[in-house]
Amino acid sequence: MKLSSPALFLCFQHSLKLAGVAAISAPCGQGADIAFNQTEKLFVTSGTDTHAFQADVSRLLHLMVHSIYSDRDIFLRELISNAADACEKLRYESLSNPGLVRDDAASVIRIEIDKPAKTLTITDNGIGMTRDDLILALGTIANSGTRAFLERLGQDSPKEDREADGGNGQSGTLIGQFGIGFYSAFMVAEKVDVETRRAGSDEAWLWSSHGKGAYSIAPLDADRAPARGTRVILHLNAESQDYLESWRLQTIIKEHSGAVAVPVELKDAPDQDPRKITEGAALWTKPRSEIDEAAYTEFYRGLAGQFDEPAMTVHWRAEGRYEYTVLAFVPGSRPMDLFEPERKGRAKLYVRSVLISADSDLLPGWLRFFRLVVDSADLPLNVSREMIQQSPVFTAIRKAIINRLLQELGRKAESDPDSFAKIWENFGAVIKEGLYEDFERREQLLKIARFTTSKHSGGDRSLTDYVKDLRPNQTAIYYLTGENSKSLASSPQLEGFRTRGIEVLLLADPVDAFWVQSVNEFDGKPLKSVTQGSADIKLVPVAEGQDTPSSDAPSAEVATLLAFIKQTLGEVVEDVRPSDRLSSSAACLVAGDKALDRRLEQILAQAGRAGSISKPVLEINPTHALVARLAEKLASGGDKALIEDSAWLLHDEARLMDGEKLADAAAFSARLTRVLQAAAG
């Protein structure tokens, strides 16, 4: 069987699951009362067009206004971030079209308070928007991950949400990740006006909305229009008048937007001069010694759109063959889009402080959880984004960065195992994709990988330590794959390994079933599934305090019983044989010697991808009292029907222990009842 891209496939599965769960619990129809196409005009009066929001936007706005935020402050962070993006876009475009900036080259973002008018205005001299831009950017939701986000928000009804967690929705920490930041303006404003002129354009536009299903667009008089860029005017609602206090705004700007690369000014009143609140210097260009942890955290939050602390910060300047600076973070929690099928990272690529791409292809999918900025003077500025990514310099820098990040992870694993354990818990499932995607770095990846094992439940066991503690005569690294490590730990498959004190890796991430197929060994020791083929552990001595299993061949009576069971089960199993791996259980299912791992087969079958599922082998514990009793019964001509029922029940029980469903629940129940009746009678 060929698996072209297991990682992509797994992500896809994950999103299906997410969508499935959300679809069940999302209340429908909230705020989605208007279902017009967004380009359809509702009214036209004196040059003003009124448009309905795309249904998703309406729903989002409804949720946003009615339910989800305790932390309304974030609207300012979002609007400042958009203004800064607009300035960066202008800088990029002006490389090929210097006429765009004319004599007003310095980017600036200005916040203006107008108490009498009860408005707060956010102005930038960035790229601005055309009429089409307005319709697309402020009337629809483009980001594909947003639907999942919306559905997640919709899982609680607004009222319950507010009561259940005091409105402290985790949602507030997620909003920046989804390309919906602009709409947060409606948390604080009863009406939002956007006055904008696209750089270099003769036309200017006024977009306006109360955030209730529709918005209007009209041409803007030349005397009101900005020369270039965008003015977002918030008509604050009654509950949000406190955002007219300048000390309040100053605190919010410093706290949430202090690391934005464009300076932010505050104008306390219409008749006063603006004062500078933040510097707007790109943080990564400063020497490390001048940056404190708070500044890094603040920058990380803006970059990642997350509100947590970074779990790891790496900042370096390379000065060898190529010069570049990297500032990279491992998030403190899982980003929402971590398992999206696109597997895209968030790497911002700058060339001499000009933003070239906000999501460049810098990192492979298995490092997509890093949030980072790369700035290089050695990349060509005068060519397109695509061409930059194809340049040999880019390739070389990319390779060096991947190596360095991996090295830093390894260092963290050694020097600070506790923090690393947290990182691994969040992102180990992603990093492990590298085990089959990146052959060159496999060895390194295996060294940093951490596991839960039958002897170490904490999820922080390394293969290096595993190999150090091999039992005498143990020649392989054993693993068991399944759905969760708790049920794996109690699997009957492990009994014989436990008896001999052999440690077994318990692999519960879906990705595990894939990489174990392609990783053959670590440190010269082959990896072997405990459920695959016959267990060859007889040479390993029994651990202290454990009973020595009988090494005699099964008696003739037991051999007859096994043949009888095999005949009874027929096509359902490949074989029935005596087991070395059981001590207290009577039976278990294993994969045939040449078959795929059973867990992998299950995953593929669930996704409808299996060609044909291979039949398992039923292993029977010849020393188990029940087995001995049944053998005796069969030999002495006992009730055959009852022994047949028992054979099926042993098989079904083994299936259940593997986390599988019964093939025929009704038959199972009838058999169980008959056997219980016999026992009672």
Choose the contact partner of 124 out of ligand ADP, Mg ion, none; CB within 5 to 8 A by kind.
ligand ADP
Query: Taking the mean position of all CA atoms in its chain, how far away is CA 609?
Result: 23
CB of 232 to ligand ADP, least distance (A): 6
Please state the closest distance from residue 336 (CB atom) to ligand ADP, in A. 13
Nearer to ligand ADP, 230 or 474 (CB): 230
CB of 216 to ligand ADP, least distance (A): 17
Among 129, 314, 446, 535, binds ligand ADP (CB under 6 A): 129
- Residue number, 349 or 654, with CB nearest to ligand ADP: 349
Q: Which residues inside 215-274 make contact with ligand ADP, applying CB under 6 A? A: 230
Q: What are the DSSP calls for 182-223, one per residue?
A: GGGGGGTEEEEEEEEE-TT-S--EEEEE-SSSEEEEEE--TT
For residue 127, state whether it binds ligand ADP (rule: CB under 6 A): yes
User: What are the residues whose beta carbons fall under 8 Å from the beta carbon of 448, sequence distance 6 or more?
Assistant: 406, 409, 410, 413, 420, 424, 431, 462
What gap in Å lies between CA 479 and CA 38, rounded to an integer?
Answer: 54
Of 82 and 119, CB closest to Mg ion:
82
Does 140 bind ligand ADP (CB under 6 A)? Our answer is no
3-class DSSP state for residue 235? strand
Axis-axis angle for helices 665-680, 640-657 (nearest 10): 130
Q: Which stretch, 78-86, 130-138, 548-556, 577-585, contacts Mg ion (CB under 5 A)? A: 78-86
Minimum CB distance to ligand ADP, residue 25 (Å): 25
Distance of CA 148 to the CA centre of its chain: 12
Burial class (CB within 10 angstroms; exposed 0-12, middle 13-18, buried 19+) of 96: exposed
Q: How far apart are CA 138 and CA 205, in angstroms?
A: 13
**Residue 578: closest CA among 642, 535, 529:** 535
Residue 539 DSSP one-character state: T
- CB of 339 vs ligand ADP, minimal distance in Å: 20
How many residues of this chain interact with Mg ion, rule: CB under 5 A? 2
Structure-block tokens of residue 254: 């410093």
For 644, the 3-state DSSP assignment is helix
Instruction: Kindly tell me which of 135 and 586 has the beta carbon lying closer to ligand ADP.
Output: 135
Joined together, the tokens standing for residue 265 give 């000014």
Residue number, 11 or 60, with CB nearest to ligand ADP: 60
Q: How far is the CB of 49 from Mg ion (least distance, A)?
A: 24
Least distance to ligand ADP from the beta carbon of 359, Å?
A: 11
Q: Which residue's C-beta sits nearest to Mg ion? A: 181
**For residues 182-221, which are near ligand ADP according to CB under 6 A?**
182
Residue 327, strand partner residues: 315, 373
CB of 169 vs Mg ion, minimal distance in Å: 19
Binding-site member from 82, 313, 491, 579 for Mg ion (CB under 5 A): 82
When CB distances are held under 5 to 8 angstroms depending on the partner's kind, the choice from ligand ADP, Mg ion, none that residue 86 binds is ligand ADP
Min. distance of Cβ 82 from Mg ion in angstroms? 4
Relative orientation angle of helices 246-257 and 293-304, to the nearest 10 degrees: 90
Alpha-carbon torsion angle 272, 276, 277, 281, nearest 10: 160
Which residue's CB is nearer to Mg ion, number 87 or number 620? 87
Q: Write down the least CB distance from residue 199 to ligand ADP, Å.
A: 10
Site residues for ligand ADP, 71-90, by CB under 6 A, read: 78, 82-83, 85-86
In the complex with ligand ADP, the residue whose CB is nearer, 299 or 436, is: 299
Q: How many residues touch ligand ADP (CB under 6 A)?
A: 16
Tally of CA atoms within 13 A in the half-sphere of 465 that contains its CB = 17
Under DSSP, the state recorded for 65 is I
d(CA 586, CA 679): 18
Phi/psi at 118 (nearest 5 deg)? 55, 40
Q: Could you give the string, one character per residue 105-124, with x where binding to ligand ADP holds by CB under 6 A and - elsewhere?
A: -------------------x
DSSP 76-124: HHHHHHHHHHHHHHHHHHHHH-GGGTTT--S--EEEEEETTTTEEEEEE
* 109 versus 507: smaller Cβ distance to ligand ADP: 109
- The stretch near Mg ion (CB under 5 A) out of 179-187, 233-241, 335-343, 665-673 is 179-187
User: Rounded CA gap, 478 and 475, in Å?
Assistant: 9
Exactly one of 181, 496, 501, 622 binds Mg ion (CB under 5 A); which one?
181
Considering only 147-155, 180-188, 280-288, 444-452, which stretch makes contact with ligand ADP by CB under 6 A?
A: 180-188
- For residue 78, the minimal CB distance to Mg ion (Å) is 5
Looking at the Cβ atoms of 182 and 479, the one nearer to ligand ADP is 182
* Residues in contact with ligand ADP, shown as a per-residue x/- string from 304 to 343 under the rule CB under 6 A: ----------------------------------------
Would you list the DSSP string of 251-314?
HHHHHHHTT-SS-EEEESSTTS--EEEE----GGGS-GGG--HHHHHHHHHHHHT--S--SEEE
Contact 171, 65 (CB under 8 A): no
Among 64, 180, 189, 596, binds ligand ADP (CB under 6 A): 180
Buried b (16+ CB within 10 A) or exposed e, 174-194: bbbbbbbbbbbbbbbbbbbbb
- The Cα–Cα gap between 653 and 648 comes to 8
Least distance to ligand ADP from the beta carbon of 500, Å?
56
Task: Find out whether 326 and 314 touch, Cβ atoms under 8 Å.
Answer: yes
Quick one: what does residue 230 bind among ligand ADP, Mg ion, none, with the CB cut-off 5 to 8 Å set by partner type?
Answer: ligand ADP
Residue among 5, 49, 72, 179 that touches ligand ADP (CB under 6 A): 179
Which residues contact Mg ion by CB under 5 A?
A: 82, 181
Residues near ligand ADP (CB under 6 A) are: 78, 82-83, 85-86, 124, 126-127, 129, 137-138, 179-182, 230
